[in-house]
């Protein structure tokens, strides 16, 4: 049985938790929204601009990507159980290759963007203290695309952990895909790294060789 005193203490604790955390959470949600808005603005005004070279665009995207995404954490989420059996060297190489794949894939996509805008719809709490910023990409003459950003507060900055496009998580898709590559390589992380190296070389050549 709870004593009367401890019950009052408990109630007081609960009340004070809410009293402190509700305004704090609302503030965090506002900040998370501002963070994604700024990210989208930078992407459109700095990366998706016309008249720059492919290489320049790739560099601009890389800067934005490394700045706003928590790559080591994404690496852990994507490799999951394979992350822990990988050596530190393998982990580092994986992060480098993963970054390159994203850079060359998105550089090509951003080149073709025109007139897209991101409309932020709302923010909701996610498990693990993260936030999910729901938005949609408005396109000219095409159906809008639902995009949700999973963001985490790290110190005094926010970082993106995952993007869900029309309900499909990119981290989860990569995990499933890379897990399959590792499996077909007999469970060796090296098999994945080898495949990634090949893919990066191919994407890099295609992206940089394309007409500016």
Residue 69 is classified by DSSP as B
Mark 133-162 with x for binding to other proteins (rule: CB under 8 A) and - for no binding. --------x----x-x-x-----------x
Q: Cβ–Cβ contacts within 10 Å for residue 79, how many?
A: 24
How far apart CA 127 and CA 142 sit, in angstroms, is: 33
Position 87 contacts other proteins (CB under 8 A)? no
Q: Does 25 bind other proteins (CB under 8 A)?
A: no
| Between 51 and 142, CB nearer to other proteins | 142
Return the number of the residue (14 or 124) whose C-beta is nearest other proteins: 124
Burial class (CB in 10 A: 0-12, 13-18, 19+), 110: buried
Q: Binding pattern to other proteins, positions 106-135, x when CB under 8 A? A: ---x--------------x-xxx---x---
Which tokens sit at 54? 């492919």
Reduced to 3 states (helix: H, G, I; strand: E, B; else coil), residue 4 is helix
3-state secondary structure of 158: strand
CA 188/CA 198 separation, integer angstroms:
16
Q: Kindly identify the residues of this chain, within the stretch 26-55, that bind other proteins according to CB under 8 A.
A: none
Q: Which of 25, 195, 204, 208 touches other proteins by CB under 8 A?
A: 195
- Contact residues for 7 (Cβ-Cβ < 8 A; gap 6+): none
Query: Which residues bind to other proteins, rule: CB under 8 A?
Result: 76-77, 80-81, 83-84, 101, 105, 109, 124, 126-128, 132, 141, 146, 148, 150, 162, 164, 166-169, 171-173, 175-181, 184, 192, 195-196, 199, 203
């Amino acid at each position: 049985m709870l004593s009367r005193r401890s019950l009052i203490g408990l109630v007081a604790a609960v009340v004070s938790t809410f009293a402190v955390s509700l305004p704090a959470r609302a503030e965090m949600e506002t900040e998370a929204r501002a963070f994604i808005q700024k990210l989208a603005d930078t992407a459109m005004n700095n990366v998706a601009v016309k008249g720059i070279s492919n290489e320049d665009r790739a560099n601009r995207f890389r800067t934005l990507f490394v700045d706003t995404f928590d790559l080591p954490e994404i690496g852990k989420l994507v490799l999951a159980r394979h992350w822990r059996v990988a050596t530190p060297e393998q982990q580092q190489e994986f992060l480098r290759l993963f970054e390159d794949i994203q850079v060359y894939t998105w550089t090509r996509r951003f080149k073709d963007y025109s007139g897209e805008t991101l409309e932020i719809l709302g923010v909701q709490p996610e498990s693990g203290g993260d936030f999910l910023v729901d938005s949609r990409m408005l396109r000219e003459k095409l159906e809008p695309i639902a995009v949700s950003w999973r963001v985490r507060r790290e110190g005094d900055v926010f970082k993106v952990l995952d993007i869900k496009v029309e309900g499909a998580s990119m981290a989860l898709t990569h995990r499933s895909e890379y897990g399959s590559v590792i499996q077909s390589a007999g469970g060796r992380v090296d098999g994945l790294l080898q495949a990634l190296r090949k893919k990066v070389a191919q994407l890099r050549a295609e992206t940089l060789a394309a007409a500016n």
